[in-house]
A and B are shown apart, each in its own frame.
Chain A
């Protein structure tokens, strides 16, 4: 798998730009993903979404359903797309360092 460097750190990613392992996530990663995902400025709401996804993933071993993400963050799906133009899967999960969504996508 290819590697990318950012802020003095090296990350291993797959073709879609998802990180190889959740354990290798750090704040530089967020800055790196930001640009590829069409995000100009990181706000507290971005960080809150990332935090919620990471907490849920650590506790449950999977990404939350969209409905649960909305409920816990209090952000409607529309707002999540305003924050992450690629949406909760490709945008937010990638930024949070979660594994790539699978299934019939």
Chain B
């Protein structure tokens, strides 16, 4: 018998998709039975009270969590999101319901043993509910009380060699695509770079020192499987400089129908036999490909490495061998002055340990933004306010046509005084000698 009636939530147990309601009920039941004899450190009925408060929100159409919440562990300024229920008498199990962010491993690869340990800890000291994973990448431990925070942190760091993730005005937990671990398009080792920079900037991650939040994301290629271009202040997107590697025999196999296009991604519907002209050549955005006499040709100088042809014929076309990444900056959600995707700052940079060149870019950007950024101003907004030129100056970069989609159309062009012969100091009397009033 459940503690609260949940008629509205119960409807979400039907249908084919895995039901979060059924799962939470299952956890509630497991806690009630407690077959392992766990010494629960927070209320046993936390899951039932969570369903109760959620049902109430369904009924009222509004949230029942209080504003904000500032909790944490000593030494860190972030990592824990405090939360209190606004109906603590009715739902004492979730009177405290803090979230802990735990830094996830690259590519989110796990062993069962690791996850089991984490679950044992969370079963005892938390609600038993999680979010795998938060959008930024963290393992999210969902719901515990203030006194448990230090206990959990101690256990995480001492027993599991595991740290918290980031929150607040700091470097948030970096995340990467699966990268070279199991993708043949990865142009650099995303997990290695992500791990290295996460370790390098632990201080910036744990102790907020920035005007606002700041995120890194690492994509192995322009397919952007971790969506770095939309969801990171600095997006690292893999690319190559030389030619696409071509296997003409495999091309013939695609044309002959032995290999399915897009590795069979569209097998659910009959799109007719593969037509290389229609599906590859004619869709190339720069029209730099041709197919004649059974041979595929690519004018690599005109290729913008959009990945389309490689995605359609993965067995025939491969990324080049001269690899690195592009660095784009400034992506953010709409608040305050509108959504932004990242803008190309560095067209190509080698990704080689110890990544000094990349760190130099990051630190130059931080130096500028930490000094000039207003309170709660994202990097993308500072770029808008002070101008892209300023960013180039701070990064010691020369302007490059690849940094713009198109040149400006308005003529409000600023010049530096030393670029103008004679400077800006002029005497009106001198002018009047030639132009009478």
Contacts and interface: CB of A to CB of B under 8 A. Distances in A.
Q: Do A and B come from one complex?
A: yes
A86 B370 contact: no
Contact of A65 (B69, B71, B81, B375): B375
Best-buried of A18, A65, A86 by chain B (most CB within 10 Å): A65
A43 to B, nearest CB: 17
B81 A105 contact: yes
B209 A16 contact: no
Best-buried of A38, A67, A104 by chain B (most CB within 10 Å): A104
A85 to B, nearest CB: 4
B77 interface: yes
Q: Classify chain A: how many residues form its interface, as a range.
A: 20 to 34
Contacts of B203: 78
A105 B70 contact: yes
A66 B76 contact: no
Contact of A86 (B69, B74, B96, B211): B74
Interface string B183-213: 0000000000000000000010001111101
B82 interface: yes
A90 B213 contact: no
B213 A87 contact: no
Given A15-B84, A66-B208, A81-B207, A90 B68 contact: no
Interface in B395-413: none
Given A67-B370, A87-B208, A81 B68 contact: no
A84 B90 CA distance: 36
Contacts of B213: 104
Nearest to A82: B75
Interface string B162-185: 000001110000000000000000
Given A85-B74, A87-B77, A100 B207 contact: no
Contact of A88 (B68, B69, B77, B96): B77
Contacts of B84: 15
Contacts, number: 65
Contacts of A67: 209, 211, 370-371
Contacts of B375: 62, 65
Contacts of B167: 104-105
B140 to A, nearest CB: 15
B70 A101 contact: yes
**Chain B interface SS verdict (over half):** loop
A103 interface: yes
B59 interface: no
Nearest to B203: A78
A52 interface: no
B67 interface: yes
**Chain A interface SS verdict (over half):** loop
Nearest to A15: B84
A100 B77 contact: no
Nearest to A87: B77
Given A81-B75, A87-B76, A104-B213, A18 B207 contact: no
Contact of A100 (B68, B74, B75, B81): B68
B209 A102 contact: no
Contacts of A15: 66, 69, 82, 84, 96
B74 A77 contact: no
Contacts of A105: 68, 70, 78, 81, 167-168
A104 B376 CA distance: 10
B181 to A, nearest CB: 31
A16 B77 contact: no
B320 interface: no
Contacts of B168: 89, 104-105
B72 interface: yes
B215 to A, nearest CB: 12
A80 to B, nearest CB: 9
13 contacts: A15-B82, A16-B70, A16-B71, A38-B74, A77-B209, A81-B207, A87-B77, A87-B208, A90-B71, A100-B68, A102-B67, A104-B167, A104-B168
Interface of A: 15-16, 18, 38, 62, 65-67, 77-78, 81, 85-90, 94, 100-105
4 pairs of A and B residues whose beta carbons are closest in the complex: A87-B77, A85-B74, A16-B70, A105-B168
Given A65-B375, A78-B203, A90-B72, 16 more contacts: A15-B69, A16-B70, A18-B70, A66-B208, A67-B370, A81-B77, A81-B207, A86-B72, A86-B77, A87-B207, A90-B70, A90-B71, A94-B70, A102-B68, A104-B168, A105-B78
